[in-house]
Copies of this chain bind each other. A is one copy, B any other.
Amino acid sequence: MIEPDFSKGNGLVPAIVQDIETKEVLMMAYMNRQSWEATLKTGKATYWSRSRKQLWLKGESSGRFQLIKDIFIDCDNDVILLQVEQLGGAACHTGYRSCFYRKLSGKDFVEVGEKIFSPEDVYK
């Protein structure tokens, strides 16, 4: 049986998150085995927060859950690709739809993404 290889990245694999409909890349986060199993069990994307060192059910505080639609694994079994329905229309804690809301233009990055909400209204 094929499953994520958590051994290479100190117990973590990167998980790329893509909108199932638009194919926009929304974010990247990390999963350990516990968060992988929670994701499969609940159908909601659950990561491992490296900064807080705890399970991180995406959307737990904001309501912006990511409903799992499809899961892919890469050729080396060490990267996961989640295709999700992003509730609330935004994945990024900054309020942008995608965490990748800045694009290289010349020598600097400039904001191009769509802002969906104001973080100060959500995280109090």
Question: Is there an interface contact between A16 and B1, defined as CB atoms closer than 8 Å?
Answer: no
C-alpha gap A94/B75 in the complex (Å): 8
How many monomers of this chain does the complex have? 2
**Interface 1/0s, chain A 78-120, versus B by CB < 8 A?**
0101000000000011101001111110011100000000000
Question: Is there an interface contact between A101 and B81, defined as CB atoms closer than 8 Å?
Answer: no
A30 closest partner in B (C-beta) = B14
Collect the chain B residues with CB atoms within 8 Å of residue A107's CB.
1
Interface size counted on chain A using CB atoms at 8 A: 34
Kindly identify which residue among B2, B79, B94, B103 contacts A28, using a CB–CB cutoff of 8 Å.
Answer: B79
A112 CB to nearest chain B CB (Å)? 8
Asked if A122 lies at the interface with its beta carbon under 8 angstroms from chain B, I say no
Asked if A55 lies at the interface with its beta carbon under 8 angstroms from chain B, I say no
Collect the chain B residues with CB atoms within 8 Å of residue A102's CB.
2, 72-73
Collect the chain B residues with CB atoms within 8 Å of residue A73's CB.
100, 102, 104, 109
Collect the chain B residues with CB atoms within 8 Å of residue A71's CB.
103-104
